[in-house]
Amino acid sequence: MDLQDQLLAIERRLWTNDAPFYEANLTDEALLVFSETGVITRDAAVAAIRKENAEGRQWEHVEFNNIYCLRMADDVALMTYHVSARWAHQASVSSALASSVYVRRGGEWKLAFHQQTPTAAAP
């Protein structure tokens, strides 16, 4: 499996809002940036996902487009993509440009940084 496929598999799984998967696949010092929350830590993201899960909120549709992957160093990679997603409890689709930085630790890729910038529509 090439690097892009490996990282894309992690990204897709992160969009399932599985809190234990987040804990296992984000670095302890990971930062996430969203327009709704600003900068949040891994622990804050996991807590938010647990709250969403308790409220029965989950993504029903997630589609990735314009995927790019760049190995920045042996153990550092950047992935960018456009995402269109819809919560199961909502009718409207959200669109964003997303960027993720991964680092390889102990032979496994871990998310160290993620940012989403909302867009008006799919490209």
pLDDT of 123: 54
Q: How far is CA 98 from CA 1, 50, 51, 105, in A?
A: 22, 22, 23, 22
**CATH number of the domain residue 48 falls in:** 3.10.450.50
φ, ψ (nearest 5 deg) of residue 56: 75, 15
Which pLDDT score is estimated for 87?
A: 87
Q: Give me the pLDDT at residue 90, please.
A: 82
Count up the domains in the chain and report the number. 1
Phi, psi dihedral angles at 96 (to 5 degrees): -155, 155
What is the rounded distance in angstroms from the CA atom of residue 32 to the CA atom of residue 115? 6
With contact defined as beta carbons under 8 Å apart, do 65 and 93 qualify?
no
Distance CA 91, CA 98 (A): 22
For residue 58, the enclosing domain spans: 3-119
Q: Round to whole Å and give the CA distance between 104 and 47.
A: 24
CB 97 within 8 A of CB 86: no
What pLDDT does residue 9 have?
A: 96
Report the chain (123 residues): mean pLDDT per 10 consecutive residues: 94 93 96 94 95 89 95 97 90 93 96 95 57
